[in-house]
Amino acid sequence: MSASQSPLVQGIKRLVWLAGVAMLWHMITTLGEIPTYILPSPGAVLKTLLEDRGILWFHAQETLFEWSLGLTLSTFVALALSWLAFESLSFEKLLNRTLVVSQSIPYLTLAPLLLLWFGLGAAPKIILILLTCTFPITQLTLNGLRNAQLEFGILAAVLRLNKNKALKRIYAPAALPQFFEGLKIAVTYAFVSSVLAELIGSEAGLGVYLSRAQSAYRTDRVMAVVIVIVFFSLFCIWLVNRIARKALYWKVEKNV
């Protein structure tokens, strides 16, 4: 019974926390007499969200399109790289060096080049998402496969499974928790990368809305789009958690 009530209790706690943050925010802006161009009140931000909901949704559709396509490509590429690295130690060493070098490059510096090469469309944002999100999914999935091989390698030998069958029936399912951990990191990276690329140059997207609001010193609009970005990021993490709970039902039952 307590297990069935725990999601409700957690939801109530989150609502109470959000209400407390909103009240503190309102008190700071009201009692502190802070100018609206520095920090608008929650009411002003809510009013902006309602008034600009159509414009925000128009820009959000572009960002969500880039996010979904970039994340999908990142997932497929990461799974392919993980499989190839698992099959070949030499490829794994080469991949690790490549990923380490790629992560040392600030991707924000690549965005202007991508915009020059591919224009203001969705292509540079998707490529930036691909560069950003492939690393965590690949690294965590490969670690999961290697750990599963160490833990269940003897079992696969006893069952006389070749490497491909052991990968399909034992190692890959055992590596799913690490894959979903990488995916949770990637869904947030993908959204942030898309918005950052849009800030530098784009025809539409939440980054464009944010840039225009910043140029006009409309702090209420800046706060509104930040709230939208946070909402989508949290929703994406929640969605991945739900999928993970369905896919990893045996771990859920074990922890309950």
pLDDT at residue number 7: 61
Same domain, 8 and 113: no
204 phi and psi angles, rounded to 5 deg: -160, 165
**How many residues can be counted in the chain?**
256
Number of domains in the chain: 2
Q: What is the CATH number of the domain that holds 154?
A: 1.10.3720.10
Same domain, 72 and 23: no
Identify the residue whose tokens are 């790289």. 81
- Of 87 and 75, more confident: 75
Same domain, 56 and 98: yes
Segments forming the whole domain that contains residue 19:
1-34
Same domain, 16 and 142: no
Identify the residue whose tokens are 């499989």. 83
Same domain, 9 and 94: no
For residues 163 and 106, the answer to whether their CB atoms sit within 8 Å is no
Same domain, 7 and 51: no
Predicted confidence (pLDDT) per residue in 138-170, tens digit: 889 988 888 888 888 787 777 777 777 888 888
| Average pLDDT for 56-78 | 88
Radius of gyration of the chain (CA): 22
Tokens linked to 107: 């991707």
